[in-house]
Amino acid sequence: MSNKVILVLLDGLNYQVAHDCMGFTMGLIEHNYGSLYKLQCELPSVSRPLYECVLTGLSPVISNVVCNAYNKRSPNTSIFSLCKEHGLTTAASAYYWVSELYNNAPFDNVRDRIVNNNDLNIQHGIFYKWDHYPDEAVYIDAEFLRQQYDPDFLLVHPMNIDDAGHRGGYDSAVYRNAARTNDTYLSTYLKTWIDLGYQVIVTADHGMNLDNSHSGVLACEREIPLFVFGNVFTHCPKVSNLKQTMLCGTICNILGIKNHKKDICAELIYEN
Ligand SMILES: [Zn+2]
């Protein structure tokens, strides 16, 4: 069993849209390669606080990363910092806010865009500043990092679904089509990653509302998908008490990191 984890964080993707539009990914579920669960995001349903939630296991009100304007380093231990502490290799193809939270803040486009530095929490990174930076490039950057550096933990973070949602809103063709396009990009890599033995998680930070935004408690803003692929997962059809704050600790357990003091979802994985 491989302990390596690939986390795909699809920015702004609502559960129902993922379920209805991501035909390849749902095909993998239909053929028992993985499982899909419904997750409620923490509050506020806003990007940077929820990157921090997924990557540190702390809800925004606890982490103190409470809004998108927080352009400082995270004060909390993260999957990245714990990996570094345990001698594991980390990589990310992600929006620049991730670099600000775990590497350097504020983001310097020249210094921080492409990094290879074992002293950083994210040792190998390709970061982008533009919400319309093509998702296709984000996947290519991620696959380059995977093939080049063989990371134990790889974050893949495309932004175009959220960007489309801010233009068209939750119930729009442009938003749904951005999810479909992502599914097509994922189809190039997902099965290969599964066949290579990676434990793959595909989820979102938050959803989208009808007003072309997100931050509140509506189901369309809070309900997000959690796809899991790999033999460390139980694929139990009903997993109770599944929270976004448990992803960090659960991923740490898969990576073999002990004593991380993060919440885990014990029903989601076999004892590792
Ligand atoms: Zn957004």
pLDDT tens for residues 58-91?
999 999 999 999 999 999 999 999 999 999 999 9
Q: In angstroms, what is the span from residue 107 Cα to ligand 1's centroid?
A: 19
Question: Beta-strand (E) ranges in the chain?
Answer: 5-9, 34-40, 90-95, 114-116, 124-128, 153-156, 199-203, 223-229
Cβ atoms 101, 79 nearer than 8 A: no
- Give, as one character, the DSSP assignment of residue 217: -
The CA-based angle 135-34-194, given to 5 degrees, is 65
pLDDT above 70 covers what percent of the chain? 99
**Rounded distance between C-alpha atoms, residue 13 and residue 205, angstroms:** 8
State percent of the chain over pLDDT 90: 96
> How far is ligand 1, taken at its centre, from the CA of residue 47, in Å?
6
How many angstroms separate the alpha carbon of residue 20 from the centre of ligand 1?
A: 20
Query: C-alpha dihedral over 95, 127, 84, 200, to 10 degrees?
Result: 60
Q: Does residue 143 sit in helix, strand or coil?
A: helix
Distance (Å) from CA 163 to ligand 1 centroid: 7
As a whole number of angstroms, the distance between CA 46 and CA 68 comes to 7
pLDDT in tens, 231-241: 999 999 989 88
Helix/strand/coil for 138 = helix
Q: What's the gap in Å between 124 CA and the centre of ligand 1?
A: 25
Quote the pLDDT of residue 118: 96
The whole-number pLDDT of residue 272 equals 56
Alpha-carbon distance of 238 to 88, in angstroms, equals 32
Give 90 Cα–ligand 1 centroid separation in angstroms: 25
How distant, in Å, are the alpha carbons of 52, 106, 261, 263 from that of 8?
A: 15, 24, 23, 20
- Give, as residue ranges, everything with CB less than 5 Å from ion ligand 1: 162
Query: How far does CA 69 lie from the centroid of its chain?
Result: 20
**86 alpha carbon – ligand 1 mean position (Å):** 33
- Token output for 170: 């939750």
Q: How far is the CA of 81 from the centre of ligand 1 (A)?
A: 26
Cα of 169 from ligand 1 centre, angstroms: 10
pLDDT at position 233: 97
pLDDT of residue 98: 98
Give helix 47-56 / helix 247-254 axis angle, nearest 10°: 40
> Could you tell me the distance, in angstroms and rounded to a whole number, from the CA of residue 123 to the centre of ligand 1?
26
Report the separation in Å between the CA atom of 260 and the middle of ligand 1, taken as the mean of its atom positions: 30
User: What does the alpha-carbon distance between residue 56 and residue 121 come to, in Å, rounded to a whole number?
Assistant: 13
CATH number of this structure's domain 5-254, picked from the four choices 3.40.720.10, 3.50.50.60, 3.30.1360.70, 3.90.180.10: 3.40.720.10
Distance 26 CA to ligand 1 centre (A): 24
pLDDT for residue 241: 85
Cα(12) to ligand 1 centroid in Å equals 6
Four-point Cα dihedral 123, 125, 129, 135, nearest 10: -150
**Max Cα–Cα distance, the chain, nearest Å:** 46
Positions of the chain with pLDDT lower than 50, given as ranges: none
Report how far residue 233's alpha carbon sits from residue 220's, in angstroms, rounded to the nearest whole number: 27
